[in-house]
Amino acid sequence: MKQIDEEVLIKGAKNGDKECFRELVLLYQDQAYRIAYRMMGNQEDAKDATQESFIKIYRSLHTFKEESNFSTWMYRIVNNTCLDLLRKRKRRKEIPIEGTGGKDGEEYEIPIEDPGDGPEVLLQAKSLQEAMKIALWEISEEYRTAVILRDLEQFSYQEIAEIMKISQGTVKSRINRGRIQLREKLTAYLEE
């Protein structure tokens, strides 16, 4: 049912129906924002990246050929928009990291095991989360993107390959190397 509705919305949006495009945005905006937030590292940049992505999607919708899933095509644009903005940011030497994000400013968390009830353990878990966020920003961009899409957004290898325009083998390699880089960055913290 959703697929048929999506096809109708895509055809309508391609024909200039702004209401159909608005419905597509509503359908995908939350996940697009989550991807942007995880790649950009803060709410404001994520909002800007999401908005800029949807502007690009609207302008290039006529180029979507329905050979792949619309969501994959859209997430590729979100990914590329974030990468472009990150490259611009690197030129300015900024690396913002926030403790909140997601919908309605809720706490942004990297999933870790439940540490228990003690305040000391909770503080250690919070420190580990912060260390993981910082470490994620310290690994190379191509590995960070692959790890975010796989481990945090739960995309399949095939979907990541389509989004990043690389082979599945390269996806697996980048995820593996990204995880190794993350582990190396966290080793010093875990030994403390």
Residue 143 predicted with pLDDT over 70: yes
Give the pLDDT band of residue 188 (cuts 50, 70, 90). Answer: low
Asked whether the beta carbons of 49 and 83 are under 8 A apart, the reply is: no
Mean pLDDT over all residues of the chain?
80
Which CATH fold would you assign to the domain 112-192?
A: Arc Repressor Mutant, subunit A (1.10.10)
CATH code that applies to domain 1-102: 1.10.1740.10
Confidence of residue 49 (pLDDT cuts 50, 70, 90): very high
On the question of pLDDT at 58 being above 60, the answer is yes
CA-based end-to-end distance of the chain: 53
Domain boundaries, the chain: 1-102, 112-192
**The predicted structure's pLDDT at residue 131:** 75
Predicted local confidence at residue 111, as pLDDT: 43
- Please tell me the predicted confidence (pLDDT) of residue 21: 92
Taking alpha carbons only, the member of 186, 94, 98 closest to residue 147 is: 186
| pLDDT tens-digit series, residues 78-129 | 999 998 888 887 765 444 444 444 444 444 444 434 444 455 555 555 566 7
